[in-house]
Chain A
Amino acid sequence: MKKTLLSSFVAFGLAVLPLTAQAGTVTVKGSDTMVILAQRWAEAFMKKNPATKIQVTGGGSGTGLAALQNGTTDIAMSSREIKEAEEEKLRARYNTPPTAVSVARDGVTFYVNESNKLDALTVEQLKDIYLGDTTSWKAVGGAEAPIVLYSRENSSGTYVFVKDHVLGGEDFAAAAQTLPGTAAVVNAVSKEKNGIGYGGAAYAKGIKELKVKKGNEAFAPSAENVKSGKYPLSRDLFFYLRNKPSGEAKAFIDFALSPEGQAIVTQVGYFPVK
């Protein structure tokens, strides 16, 4: 009697559990840069569709893409494009090419003090400055004064972005002062005549956003330039799926790309793609 009761429970559990896991739950995992953005989307989406549950967790782009291969997440968030090896593994395992959806764009802005004469620098010049090879503003066409470097803590996503996209993976100069948060960097640069710093888009008194030169043209880190990809220091933020989006995952992605979803992108501090 007891045994049958227990087994019926187990059978019931087995029958129901996968159903509840599938019915209305979309798991999103990956890039820590995108966690807050995805969470805001999830909150807004679940308010509209109470039947669907969106679970967002971080861990990093690599972790998300690995989870996608293992089948433990429905959507992987990634702040970089998928690597060939990762794509091949997915294709081999699921027989379909993975789908990438660019859901937002992210750009890093360099600031100088408003009294600085310079308006634009090339990526190469920024690299030399942050590697500590260029130590005077004169070398890049500015006044004769030492450059005071401001950077972010090494736990920050922006730190990694600048390290990868500007420094080519090399280390920041030891003299770079590390501050917590864009606001702290902006505040420091606004007070330091010879300072340079970087972070998200910032609208503050006392600082000037540097344009980035590419060829003969200089691009400001404006919303259009970041959206179009003309601004050199910008990147896509992706959602990766095992195959074509369908069902609730598709509904969620559609929401993220809707005007409402893209408004959230701006609120969180990134740039919209649409």
Chain B
Amino acid sequence: MLDRQAVMQEQDLAPPVALPTLSPAARRRQLKEKAIAALITAVAFTGIAALVLILVFVAKEALTLVTDAAAREEASFSKMFLPQLVRKGKPLAYVWQPVSGVPKVSMIPLFVGTLKTTLVSMVVAVPLGIFGALFAAEFAPRRLREVLKPTIELLAGIPSVVLGFFALMVMATFLQETFGFTSRLNAVVAGLGLALAIVPVIFTVTEDALTAVPRSYREASLALGATPWETAWKVVLPAAAPGILAACVLGFGRAIGETMIVLMASGNAAIVSWNLGDSVRSLSATIAAEMGEVVVGSPHYALLFFIGVELFLFTFVLNLLAGVWTKKVIQRLKGGAG
């Protein structure tokens, strides 16, 4: 009797929805969960911290150009970006000759060189990568696709020094014989070598984006009477646009920063000319070629770090622009649907 009362009282006192009392095992599990979450957050922040620290270090070394009087004199911004008198009796010119009695530090030939190689590689790699992915995702029979995808991805695994060697020894000779370039190593050779490195990047990311487009889109389009080509070109491709843009940005980032291929296959002559058959010197190859023997702390040393900062800024701005554009595209796609 008493027992029963006690039980009833307890039942009365208990809240309407009983809080589950955690068993020790469950509590431990919860604690473990929190620890893992904290660890992952820390790892994520390590990545960000590394990025910030790298930028700070590179910028700090380049800062000599502003703080040091001798460096300011030798490599002022006007000397970097405006034409200078190079030899007596010759017109003003943009010249990169940092090891010289009077160092000439114009960035313009290096910008032109980087732009030319990047342009050639993107013009070749973007259509090749995107159409290749479109074929693999939309048209290729399943068996072929299973061969195609890993093969192209394997291309991404080839070390860039091997691609550079191939461009230097095989492609350069072939292209010179075919097109009659004056200099064997030039922007076209370097750009095509770069394209070999970028195509797999663009292909893989684009292919993933295309496969991620919901099946219902394709089914709806086909049901409305569109041909498979119309479906792929007008429905699937636009729907995957943000992913494809991301692929192109990744490819561009690789092209602008890739060093070994350009160093080996471009000839590294710092010339200002828009002829694609001329030899070029890119920003990244300049750092790689000259960093080895430069006097630490000299204006030349600071200049090479400044080039590093410039490369960082280029990719950063591009990523930013791509982000803005992607947002716009997504908005438009949503607007169209609603």
Residues of B within 8 A of A148 (CB): 182-184
For chain A, give the interface size range: 20 to 34
Q: In angstroms, how far is the closest chain A Cβ from the Cβ of B266?
A: 8
Checking A171, A172, A174, A192 against B109 with a beta-carbon cut-off of 8 angstroms, the contacting residue is A174
Q: In angstroms, how far is the closest chain B Cβ from the Cβ of A136?
A: 11
Residues of B within 8 A of A178 (CB): 267-269, 281, 289
Residues of A within 8 A of B183 (CB): 148, 177, 192
Residues of A within 8 A of B271 (CB): 174-175
Residues of A within 8 A of B173 (CB): 191
Indicate if the CB atoms of A171 and B100 lie closer than 8 Å.
Answer: yes
Indicate if the CB atoms of B270 and A169 lie closer than 8 Å.
Answer: no
Checking A146, A174, A180 against B182 with a beta-carbon cut-off of 8 angstroms, the contacting residue is A146
For chain B, give the interface size range: 20 to 34
**A81 at interface, CB cutoff 8 A:** no
Known interface pairs A155-B290, A169-B101. Does A175 touch B269 (Cβ–Cβ under 8 Å)? yes
Indicate if the CB atoms of A171 and B293 lie closer than 8 Å.
Answer: no
Indicate if the CB atoms of B184 and A188 lie closer than 8 Å.
Answer: yes
**B79 at interface, CB cutoff 8 A:** no
Q: In angstroms, how far is the closest chain B Cβ from the Cβ of A62?
A: 12
Q: In angstroms, how far is the closest chain A Cβ from the Cβ of B107?
A: 14
**A224 at interface, CB cutoff 8 A:** no
Indicate if the CB atoms of B267 and A177 lie closer than 8 Å.
Answer: yes
Checking B104, B172, B184, B263 against A171 with a beta-carbon cut-off of 8 angstroms, the contacting residue is B104
Indicate if the CB atoms of B279 and A172 lie closer than 8 Å.
Answer: no
Indicate if the CB atoms of B289 and A171 lie closer than 8 Å.
Answer: no
Measured CA separation A32–B294 after assembly (Å): 13
**Chain B 83-121 interface 0/1 with A at a Cβ cutoff of 8 Å (1 = within):** 000110000010111111100100001000000000000
Measured CA separation A171–B279 after assembly (Å): 18
Q: In angstroms, how far is the closest chain B Cβ from the Cβ of A156?
A: 8
Checking A146, A177, A195 against B268 with a beta-carbon cut-off of 8 angstroms, the contacting residue is A177
In the complex, chain A residues 154-189 whose Cβ is within 8 Å of any chain B Cβ: 154-156, 159-160, 163, 169-172, 174-180, 188
Checking B86, B98, B99, B269 against A176 with a beta-carbon cut-off of 8 angstroms, the contacting residue is B269
Indicate if the CB atoms of B279 and A153 lie closer than 8 Å.
Answer: no
Known interface pairs A153-B290, A154-B99, A177-B268. Does A192 touch B184 (Cβ–Cβ under 8 Å)? yes
Beyond the given pairs A153-B268, A177-B183, A178-B281, 15 more chain A to chain B contacts, judged by CB atoms under 8 angstroms and listed by A's residue number, are A153-B289, A155-B290, A155-B293, A155-B294, A169-B101, A170-B87, A171-B95, A175-B278, A175-B279, A176-B269, A178-B267, A178-B289, A188-B184, A188-B185, A194-B182
B residues contacting A by CB (< 8 A) are 86-87, 93, 95-101, 104, 109, 172-173, 182-185, 263, 267-272, 278-279, 281, 289-290, 292-294
